[in-house]
Amino acid sequence: MHTALTIAGQSFEWGRRTYLMGILNLTPDSFSGDGLGLNLTAALAQATSFAQAGVDLLDIGGESTRPNAAPVDEAEEKRRVLPLIKALASVTQLPLSIDTFKPGTAKAALAAGAHLINDVTGLADPAMQRLAAERGVPVIIMHSRGTPQTMAHLTDYGGNVLGELESFFEQRLAQLEAAGVAGAKIILDPGIGFAKTAAQNLEILRSLPRLRKLGYPLLVGVSRKAFIGRLVAGPGQASVPPSERVYGTAAAIALAIAGGADIVRLHDVLPLAGAVRVADAIIRPASAEFDWL
Q: Please give, one letter per residue, the 3-state secondary structure of the chain.
A: CCCEEEECCEEEEECCECEEEEEEECCCCCCCCCCCCCCHHHHHHHHHHHHHHCCCEEEEECCCCCCCCCCCCHHHHHHHHHHHHHHHHHHCCCCEEEECCCHHHHHHHHHHCCCEEEECCCCCCHHHHHHHHHHCCCEEEECCCCCCCCHHHCCCCCCCHHHHHHHHHHHHHHHHHHHCCCHHHEEEECCCCCCCCHHHHHHHHHCHHHHHCCCCCEEECCCCCHHHHHHHHCCCCCCCCHHHCHHHHHHHHHHHHHHCCCEEEECCHHHHHHHHHHHHHHHCCCCCCCCCC
pLDDT at 67: 75
Task: State the pLDDT at residue 32.
Answer: 45
- Domain region containing 31: 19-281
- Tell whether 11 is covered by a domain: no
Report if residue 271 sits inside a domain: yes
> In the chain, which stretches have pLDDT less than 50?
31-33
Question: Residues of 115-138 as b/e, b for ≥16 C-beta within 10 angstroms?
Answer: bbbbbbbbbeeeebbebbbebebb
Closest by alpha carbon to 31, among 232, 233, 228? 228
Annotated catalytic residue: which of 17, 135, 172, 225? 225
265 is catalytic: yes
Q: What are phi and psi of 266, to 5 degrees?
A: -130, 145
d(CA 81, CA 86): 9
CATH number for the domain harbouring residue 238: 3.20.20.20
Amino acid at 24: L
pLDDT digit string (tens) for 261-271? Answer: 999 999 999 99
Residue 5 within any structural domain of the chain? no
Catalytic residue among 224, 265, 277, 284: 265
284 as an active site residue: the answer is no
| pLDDT recorded at residue 33 | 46
Residue 4 inside a domain? The answer is no
In a domain, 7, yes or no: no
**12 domain residue, yes or no:** no
Q: Is residue 152 part of a domain?
A: yes
Count structural domains, the chain: 1
Residue 8 resides in a domain: no
